[in-house]
Structure 1
Amino acid sequence: MGKINQGILGGVSGQVGNVIGGTWKGIDYLRIKPSSVANPRTEGQVDQRSKFSTVLQFLQPMTDFLRVGFKLYANRMTQFNAAMSYNLNNAVTGAYPNFMIDYASALVTRGNLTGAANGAATSPSAGNVEATWTDNSDSGSARATDKALIVLLNTTRGEAVFTTAGPARSAGSATIPVPSEYSGEDVEVFLGFVSEDGTKVANSVYLGSVTVA
């Protein structure tokens, strides 16, 4: 226990609260005891960091694509951070340390434009992945001139192939070439749309995992 021998301005010895007093060569001194964190790596902190790392690994290969896909939600933050926030809260499944992305719940484009209908993906020929959909131009806010936004994510390589100016919604399909070394590897396929004038974006739809021919 500390004592104050000569009032608040002098003669402190020992510890009073987080203040430690003493004397050195006849000179009274005070110093603040540094605060300590009992557990700087709590279970909750480790859990959140692991989730963050999982989403970061998912989104980093498509950083440039997200500038279009999440541009309507970049309010006081970057498009990438907006995508991180959404997917961190909605697309992570599993338990530490085995967190995974639930692709069906993930979004790589986000907005109120009417989305794709009956989307599917295949690899009909070597080095190509084809996305197909039903032309729903007369449904909701959809228009025939909307452009397809397509991402092919190769999680094995940590790479993505994408287009932000694909065929029109009315075309009903798009063929995306991929590197020849992707042959035999899986890609996760996502499809969204952006209006011709770029002011509206649709929520993406996960078309599934495709093995490249």
Structure 2
Amino acid sequence: MAIINQGILGGVSGKIGNVIGGTWKGIDYLRIKPSSVANPKTEGQLDQRSKFAKVLHFLQPMTDFLRVGFKQYAIKMTEFNAAMSYNLFNAVLGAYPNYTIDYPNALVSRGNLKGVANGTAASTTPAEIDITWDDNSGSGNALATDKSLILILNPDKKESIYTTSGPARPIGSETLTLPAEYTGDVVEVYLGFVSADGTKVSNSTHLGSVTVA
């Protein structure tokens, strides 16, 4: 049984035949209940699930970071889903079942704020990552008050170390301390910027795959 809210033109809550109604984030919707699938494991379905799982495992360690990094694209969806959507179509390499993440093309932040100029990442001191960039304040919409967004992903340990309020553009450098057990691991380093009021975010830049000293 379905309930029609606010009269015949209102939202539908429940099921009528194969039509299901509901509300998500205050938005009324209708969808068709999918027909039963004779073979739920076709090659195409397995292919898509494999891609989805690869991107999911990439993003899960940085869920909180994505709430800042993808906030501009969280329109009628969560920040995590916005990141899933982008990276599913732009950051997967290979063929089923051997998919990999294309780290240089993956984004952990996305927006129209001016991005990184000449960013670098290196590890010369045990359990530390040194990150540098050029001050491009005044170029486009870049401001001296923009804060750095830094994320270090350890794919093998399925963990990330990050800051969403790092040094401002003019500072040009930051050193992040990592857990001692990261020594010898290869980590993926990303850098972006967020405006002081949090309303604008830049596309992230992949600074490389770095072996932790």
Q: What range is the shorter-chain TM-score in?
A: 0.7 to 0.9
Q: Does 1:173 align with 2:151?
A: no
Larger radius of gyration between Structure 1 and Structure 2: 1
Q: Equivalent residue for 1:147?
A: 147
For 2:121, the aligned partner's letter is A
CA distance in 1, matches of 2:110, 2:130: 22
Q: Equivalent residue for 2:136?
A: 136
Q: Equivalent residue for 2:51?
A: 51
Give structure 2 stretches of 5+ with no counterpart. 1-34
**SS of residue paired to 2:47:** helix
**SS of residue paired to 2:67:** helix
For 1:79, the aligned partner's letter is E
Residues 25-174 of structure 1 correspond to what in structure 2 (within 5 A)? 37-174=37-174
1:156 CA drift (Å): 1.0
CA distance in 2, matches of 1:37, 1:80: 28
Give structure 1 stretches of 5+ with no counterpart. 1-34
Q: Deviations over 1:43-86 (max 9, x none)?
A: 11100000000000000000000000001111111100100000
CA distance in 2, matches of 1:73, 1:184: 35
CA distance in 2, matches of 1:111, 1:198: 11
The ranges of structure 1 where at least 4 consecutive aligned residues each deviate by more than 6 angstroms after the TM superposition are: none
For 2:191, the aligned partner's letter is L
**SS of residue paired to 1:209:** strand
**SS of residue paired to 1:160:** strand
Task: Classify 1:210/1:36 alpha carbon distance in 2 versus 1 (closer, same or farther; 3 Å).
Answer: closer
TM-score (norm 2): 0.82
Aligned length in residues: 179
Q: Equivalent residue for 2:195?
A: 195
**SS of residue paired to 2:98:** coil
RMSD: 1.1
CA distance in 2, matches of 1:186, 1:78: 30
For 1:40, the aligned partner's letter is P
Q: Equivalent residue for 1:25?
A: none
For 1:177, the aligned partner's letter is T
TM-score (norm 1): 0.82
1:39 CA drift (Å): 2.3
CA distance in 2, matches of 1:53, 1:88: 10
Q: What's the % identity of the aligned pairs?
A: 68
Q: Equivalent residue for 2:207?
A: 207
For 2:184, the aligned partner's letter is G
CA distance in 2, matches of 1:37, 1:77: 27
**SS of residue paired to 1:165:** coil
1:36 CA drift (Å): 6.2
